[in-house]
Structure 1
Amino acid sequence: MLLIGCKDTYQGPAIPEVPVNEQINVNSLQYPELRRDGGYVYLNAGYKGILIVRQNANLYAAFERACPYDPTAPCAIVEVDQSNLFIVDKCCGSQFNFQGNVTSGPAVYGLKQYRTSLSGSLLYISN
């Protein structure tokens, strides 16, 4: 008899894995928004793009822009709301805080987060 069990390691929706190995200079004139806490920029990397948020001068978060509710839907791309208070997917209406956690559904999983490492003024983003 063969028993197949379910693992408790499911971390969320099936956002396609793509290699991410980016670096940016956070002091560059190209990214003035990253010079203040709460500032953010979008990168053309990842599956549907990457949102980088400055938490403080030494800590940056990088999130996949594909909404975890239905990541393969063409319109499922998160962006910072005009109020600059939260992140939203206008397609399904899900909202997230700047730590990537769900604050309003239908999404039940937080945003996929990439690793970040700051060395001087260079921010490395990878998976």
Structure 2
Amino acid sequence: MYKSNYLIIVFILLLFTNCKKNRQYVPNVYVDLIIYVNEPQNINLVSVGGWKYFAGGNRGVIVYRKGFNEFAAYERTCPYLPEEPSAIVAVDTTNNIILKDLSCNSQFLLSDGSPISGLAVIPLRQFRCIFDGTVLRVTN
């Protein structure tokens, strides 16, 4: 009787510790950015393919200009073990269409935030972008 109870408890503990180890969930925090695209500090967002980091979210937001009137914005926290302080994605300096997390070697496409290699299996958290031709609003 005691042996079977002991085995059940050990099994449950192993199950919970394994699930926690592979958790890929970035906490949702309020984001509401107003960005004036034509201002000098946002010069990188004027042309298609440009990107810029902004404060906000958990560990920052990256905004990317996909097209003339189309933007994408992502949480910079890597979804693989997001509680780790080093779980931050940044634009790859050798290939600026890739976002990389150096702590887990995950890579994501800047165009849609989807994972392309590494330990992360879910995409980066994406925010809604509303652009009126001058002002970009990034929100969730």
Regarding TM over 0.5, the answer is yes
Contact 2:25–2:80 (CA<8 Å) still a contact in 1? no
- Given candidates 84, 88, 91, the residue that maps to 2:100 is 88
Q: Aligned partners of 2:70 and 2:64: how far apart in 1?
A: 9
Verify: 1:64 aligned to 2:93, yes or no: no
Residue 72 of structure 1 deviates from its aligned partner by: 1.0
Q: Aligned partners of 2:33 and 2:80: how far apart in 1?
A: 25
Deviations 1:72-118 (A, max 9, x none): 10000000000213110011100001110111021000110001100
Task: Return the TM-score normalized by structure 2.
Answer: 0.79
Contact 2:26–2:79 (CA<8 Å) still a contact in 1? yes
Residue 15 of structure 1 deviates from its aligned partner by: 1.3
Moved more, 93-102 or 14-23: 14-23
Query: Which aligned runs of 4 or more in structure 1 are off by greater than 6 angstroms?
Result: none
> Counterpart amino acid of 1:38?
G
Residue 70 of structure 1 deviates from its aligned partner by: 1.2
Q: Aligned partners of 2:81 and 2:56: how far apart in 1?
A: 19
Deviations 1:7-36 (A, max 9, x none): xxxxx8321221111110111101111111
Deviations 1:33-70 (A, max 9, x none): 11111110000101110000000110000000000111
| Structure with the higher fraction of residues in helix conformation | 2
Structure 2 stretches lacking a partner, 5+ long = 1-22
Contact 2:115–2:122 (CA<8 Å) still a contact in 1? yes
Contact 2:44–2:51 (CA<8 Å) still a contact in 1? yes
Structure 1 stretches lacking a partner, 5+ long = 1-11
- Superposition RMSD on alpha carbons, in Å? 1.2
Counting matched residue pairs gives 116
> Counterpart amino acid of 2:104?
C
Q: Aligned partners of 1:106 and 1:97: how far apart in 2?
A: 15
Rg larger in 1 or in 2? 2
Q: Aligned partners of 1:56 and 1:121: how far apart in 2?
A: 14
Task: Return the TM-score normalized by structure 1.
Answer: 0.87
What percentage of residue pairs aligned between the two structures are identical? 40
For residue 104 of structure 1, what is the aligned residue in structure 2?
117
Contact 2:24–2:120 (CA<8 Å) still a contact in 1? no
> Counterpart amino acid of 1:102?
P
